[in-house]
Structure 1
Amino acid sequence: MKPTTHTIEHEQPRAVLVSLVTQEQKRQEAYEAEHSLAELVSLSETAGVQVLATMSQNKETVDSKWFIGKGKAEELKQLIEERGANTAVFDQELSGAQVRNLEEFLDVKIIDRTQLILDIFAQRAKTKEGIIQVELAQLSYLLPRLSGQGRNLSRLGGGIGTRGPGETKLETDRRHIRNRITELKHQLQEVVKHRTLHRERRKKTGVFQVALVGYTNAGKSTLLRQLTNADVYVENQLFATLDPTSRNFELPSGKQIVLTDTVGFIQSLPHDLVAAFRATLEEANEADLILHVVDGASDMMATQMRVVGQVLEELGAHKTEQITLFNKVDLCSAEQVDMLTTGGECMRISAYNETDLERLSERIEAKLMGECKTFRVPAEKGDVISLLYRVGEVLENEVEGGDMLIQVRVNNKEYDKLGYLLAHYAMDQRENEGENTEHV
């Protein structure tokens, strides 16, 4: 007789989502309660949670014991029983004591926004660096909350909120976690050192680095794939890709640059994640140019742009030259398209439109390589001629009388460094404008 095989399947999380809006949050212009709750629904679905219902509460301040008030907790318990939920997901971060109190009262697993995001990251991490960073963020989050994780720690087999290192929490205590955090930080330092060496090599070879940044699901990975034919995972979901992907990209002139897709940002990004993923996000900090990809079809576009700006400022990358790309114009209404800025360093594009991609390639080249300028330099001025070859890409040179006419593509940043010297020799190359040539 064939032996009977018993398969243990984890029960799918069925959740009620809870949001608390305090007076302090209402005073913060950047906080959008409805958007945050809608985003929590998307996050939950991305993590594999079946969302049964949502509940929100307006309250003066947070309840130190129940987070929401006791009356609201009783209302939540009734809703959980009616819907047959086994999980409650909160849109804000909870303390260990609040988790413990709510678990005992509601008799379901309690997850907060940070833990949910960490869980998604644990599912998405594929490279050694990504796995280290996720585990470091999870343990940093867990350490001050050990006293409130009773029920979670007692449930073997993991599930939402306990993937990755969460499955070994039963065997850990504060000392073990601190030791593990120290070990992970050491491993991460080695990764940072390795990445820094790569950057230095790139700088020595003169290869330009361009970083794609933006709110999660803005279309960064799609843009990378369309520009470089990269075999990157593209899906209409939050944090579809986590680990940074770098690919070579050829500009219209034939020059090769490196294009890197970074992890997407999100409102209320956990501080532990910003700290742990600093090594990855350094790609944005070290880039010669940042392409800020914006979901132009999103109703929350302004808020999302503000969140990205805040994270870039925290990383120290806000001073790097940027081009803002209003993506997904193919999904916008005519009114939405008209509202998107096109002046300055902004472009309206669709990642699936070949003409838009060509325009973007030309804009990137102009930003990195600079404009074509022509210099008339006396042949005996070898130092100036040598300088032009060093700072720019010489496209053409010819002798005219006793002078050298040198056409150079020079980066604006490098051109500014030369200051008065090159300004004295330069004339813009403009067809049919007959500008006078300056003589030395």
Structure 2
Amino acid sequence: MPFSYTSPYSEELTCKAIIADDGAHLERSARVRDELEDGAHVWIDVGDGAPLSRVHSRSLPERGIFEPPGSCGYQEQIGWEATPADIFDEEVVGIDPRQTMRYTRTVIADQPSFKEWQMRHAASSSSQDGLFDIFNRTWQQVAQDEVGEMPNASSWMGEVKSVFWHNFESLKYVFSCHASVTVDPSKPPEMSLLEFWAICKRCALPSPWLNLNKINRFFMRKGAVPDIRDLKGPHDGRKTIDLPKFLGTLVRISVLREQGGKGELPMCVTHLIQGMLTLTPGFETFEPEKAAYAPFSSSAVRQKLTMHESRLKKLFKHWAKLDETRETIQLSEFLQMMAKADVMGPDLTEVQLKMAFVHAMLGAHDGVFETWQEAGEQACSEILFSEFVDVIMRVALLKFEWDTATTIDIKVHELCLILIFGPGGRAINL
């Protein structure tokens, strides 16, 4: 498993050196193409004092050893903790300095379709009058805390309210499918920013004039969730939002995403909601052919990212110099990093890197890169750390596009190793 040679916790049969046919040790940080030619023979020293051409190890089953049975979704978490000491008769007789991996997996229930969800929640709004009362209470919070201070609010508030009433159940469904139940059952469900970002990318809510960096600023306004100030920065994915804030944010996004803030209500919010219903699975209006390509959802990919997350964060903060908070990295800084890593070339051009960057920032929807180019100097050009990881995964597929045998997770793993231990990462003390 790749973890055995990227951490100090597995020493058996780990490569210690590569030795040329004449017995000389090859430079560890050198590129293979600079040291060897096709057909050259090398020896692998696994630390047992004798060079071997082949290392026998335990047999591994087919790929997918971390996959749960069936097609159900799930969440997993991989972490490390100190190994308990060996105790005999209440005395410590041995201490293992190595850490122990902790792996947990939770199966997620399949999300119901919109019609199934309506049937499950029919009791809470058994009549249109009852549903309208719920909507009125929700909209009162939206108008008072979220959108009441927007320019010319009195001129469009009534029409926008009608649009949201017409789509209230649909938007509640979108929210509930991404929200989690709070610890206190008396409080309404809340959605984390991580889940909200996923909705934004899937439904093409960001635009060349409005990326997540700008959207997240909405949640620092007056009227935010009370404990939001206790978390660090505007880009902390642990922050949570309730349904009124979710609806109010959609109003703000609808205006600012069109032509750099020139959208007109209520038409722009109607257009935004129609797009959400087209790109959200579960609705009859869902058009899968318009959905963005998403190849990075497997557990194997998440496992590799967990292995490299801490070093990738250090790499990100090292290059994110134009942002004083080091929470966003600019396109120019990203290109400098990739050039320093020496991964650019005929198989990975600057244009391809820019396209991967934009797709990570705005979502990989048709025509989004061309629209971003047309925006010129007004276009956004910075991404968060979560988007930084996204663009690295996209670059991995571009860099190794010629390789049709290697799985996606190993391609991602390979590029992470190049960035972290190659010429662009060695001097950063990763």
| TM-score class normalised by the smaller sequence | under 0.3
Q: Which has the higher strand share?
A: 1
Q: Which has the higher contact order (CA 8 A, sep 6+)?
A: 2
Query: Structure 1-normalised TM-score?
Result: 0.25
Flag the structure with larger Rg: 1
